[in-house]
Structure 1
Amino acid sequence: MPASISGKGTLTIATDASYAPNEFLLNGQGDPIGMDVDLGNAIAQLLGLKTQWVNTGFDGILAGINAGRYNLSMSSFTDTKKREEQVNFVTYLNAGVSIVVAKGNPENINSLADLCGKKVGAENGTTEQDMLTKADVDDSVVKTCSGAGKPAVQASGYPTQNDVNVALASGRLDAYLADTPVAEYAVKVTVDKFEKVGKDVGVAPYGIAIPKNPPELTTAIQKALQKLMDDGDYDKILANWGLADAGIKTAEVNKALY
């Protein structure tokens, strides 16, 4: 563990607390809670450290890590090769991408191709936003629509996942894309407002985002997480948030699939 962190005794962890059940604010207030928070606290405890969670906008987190404002981030980051150019990732979960629509599916959306010409949202800075706005990413809706000769998707980005949920609930969106755990949780808590449709796509690992230097921080986080996995505490944390099926067995560094 770097002396700069062990000396102060605290890990400063950035998160965008709008992505339930992974990281969110209960009733919109208080300190962040969720799977990522519990897992981050458990990692810190193994390292003999306390945690300071900083709730901030998702699309500025990686820059904040490299500017030294945060020691790391646990914020439902999909580990991608592009992001690995900026930071290291220690993998800790598998998650796909899901389509969420209003209850009853009034626009009859059942696949990415059905999003063509529709008003579709995602949180800013996410892989889902990339799918809606870029042609050179896996499962690109842009490429799907252009290749089929269909109207382009009407993509909208929002500062937080809460904003995305509100936009769908108010009818400003026909659908949104979100990580599967987040989509399933939204459907569960809204009861009769949303439903998840079609097949999930793009299953890929989540990663803890860590600055490339000093490298011993990445090593310390990876070893602590692996111990939690080996001891069964990791499984208990995931199960507590309904995410047992998304668990993995090995914490690895920079294992992006795309």
Structure 2
Amino acid sequence: MSFASARRRFLTATAGLAGLLIVAGTPALAQSAPEFETITPGKLTMSINPTLPPLQYVNDKGELQGMRVELGNALAEKLGLEPEYIRIEFAAMVPGLAAKRWDMINTGIYFTEERSKLMYMIPYEQAAISFLVQAGNPLGIESWEDLSGYAVGVELGGVEETRTREVNKMLEEKGMEGITVRTFNNFAEAFQALRAGQVDAATSIDATAMYWQQRGDFTRAISGLFPQTATFAFADKDLADAAVDALNELKEEGYYDELFDRYGVLKIDGDSFAIRGPGPQ
């Protein structure tokens, strides 16, 4: 027998033995690999700006907490991945996603047509804008017109800043004095400026504003403005598709509804999740 023939027989026998081992082995070994890739194998890396209690914040022990954190953890588990969070300012999140520094933005990024052309966005939450003022509302602010002439603090780069500037434009179009918009690196800094009297009001989302009011830190003077849709955002289409399937499973199992009811957050319209918009072009 030639060496080549012997080698072929050896390889055939080895392949057959390997096939038997796979069949007889654990189910995990027999399963096909996931149809998506993540930046770090085995992990779902998410960017988050934990300055918006009760949705995303850091507790006294330095642990990430909140509705969006819980949903992110449940999503990672459904995907068979370990959740990992990168705490970073919002302004860096979209460039970081494009640069593949994280797999997903989990900070309640609002849907816009422009953003939907840069990433794959999955709506999962309804939110609106509030304006917080100092506790007791000493300035008597009750409507957006009452913000005329005052300074308002807001996080840099988000839809909240856009909407705050929109209120300024609305005031000017009515012939009223506008507002002075002061931007900060994150919401925590904006809220601290309000607490210190450096601004007269601060922009927030409804759920966070209610949280601070219930704590007694501030008064939610205005709420329900500019209803928006919050999303998860991905750079990879295959991972986004897998996330859609996972979210739909969480909804079918009742987890999604229970979580949102527990936090008093508005759910999306419709019975299922889907990518909205065209995605990167």
- The normalised TM-score by structure 2 is 0.81
Q: Against the structure 1 CA distance between its residues 185 and 253, is the aligned structure 2 distance closer, same or farther, given a 3 Å change threshold?
A: same
Identity of aligned residues (%): 25
Partner of residue 219, structure 1: 241
Q: Output one character per residue of 1:194-240: Cα deviation in whole Å (capped at 9) or x when no partner.
A: 111234111121100111xx311111111111111121111222233
The separation in 1 between residues aligned to 2:243 and 2:41, in whole angstroms, is: 17
Q: Against the structure 1 CA distance between its residues 178 and 199, is the aligned structure 2 distance closer, same or farther, given a 3 Å change threshold?
A: closer
Matched, 1:207 2:231: yes
Larger of the two Rg values belongs to structure: 2
Partner of residue 136, structure 1: none
Matched, 1:60 2:58: no
The separation in 2 between residues aligned to 1:32 and 1:239, in whole angstroms, is: 20
Number of residues paired by the alignment? 243
Alignment of 1:53-202 (within 5 A): 53-133=85-165, 140-189=166-215, 191=216, 193-202=217-226
**Structure 2 contact 131–222 (Cα < 8 Å) conserved:** yes
Q: Against the structure 1 CA distance between its residues 95 and 219, is the aligned structure 2 distance closer, same or farther, given a 3 Å change threshold?
A: same
The separation in 1 between residues aligned to 2:154 and 2:272, in whole angstroms, is: 30
Q: Output one character per residue of 1:133-187: Cα deviation in whole Å (capped at 9) or x when no partner.
A: 3xxxxxx112211111112211111111111111111111111111111111121
Task: Specify the SS of the correspondent of 2:272.
Answer: coil
Task: Specify the SS of the correspondent of 2:181.
Answer: strand
Matched, 1:39 2:59: no
**Structure 2 contact 49–88 (Cα < 8 Å) conserved:** yes
Matched, 1:252 2:278: no
**Structure 1 contact 168–174 (Cα < 8 Å) conserved:** yes
Matched, 1:238 2:260: yes
Question: How well do the aligned residues superpose, as a CA RMSD in angstroms?
Answer: 1.9
**Structure 1 contact 32–55 (Cα < 8 Å) conserved:** no
- Structure 1 portions without partners, runs of 5+: 134-139
By how many angstroms is 1:13 displaced?
Answer: 0.5
With 197-206 and 63-72 compared, the bigger mean Cα shift is at: 197-206
The separation in 1 between residues aligned to 2:120 and 2:140, in whole angstroms, is: 40
- The normalised TM-score by structure 1 is 0.88
With 80-89 and 218-227 compared, the bigger mean Cα shift is at: 80-89
Partner of residue 137, structure 1: none
